[in-house]
Amino acid sequence: MSFLKRLFGGGGGSDESAGGAPTKQIEYKGFTIAATPYKNDGQYQTSGVVSKEIDGVLKEHRFVRADRFAALDDAVDVSLRKGQQIVDEQGERIFG
């Protein structure tokens, strides 16, 4: 229940909020993927942003996954791979 509260803007419980500054960014198939893991209950939660400029408008898709890691580097690597997987599976449909 507390995960849902945090996801939808309810109560605390996490060490930092989601959506912070990107830890690392890559370009992939015309998309920008930014890893934005955040600390949650002592571990780093997998999250990121997939973005692309379409017709002069920057479109973004934010994602959070259940995977957590003790090391920030591990969370960053998995966040980037999840972003690549989203691009491979959905492409620009993620914005529609």
The reported pLDDT for the residue numbered 21 is 75
The reported pLDDT for the residue numbered 96 is 87
User: 65 lies in which domain range?
Assistant: 16-95
Within-domain flag for 1: no
d(CA 58, CA 89): 20
Answer left, alpha or beta for residue 41, where phi above 0 means left and psi between -120 and 50 means alpha.
Answer: left
Within-domain flag for 71: yes
Within-domain flag for 58: yes
pLDDT band at 37; cut points 50, 70, 90: very high
pLDDT band at 87; cut points 50, 70, 90: very high
Percent of the chain residues past pLDDT 90, beyond the cut: 75
Mean local confidence (pLDDT), 18-29: 83
- Total domains in the chain come to 1
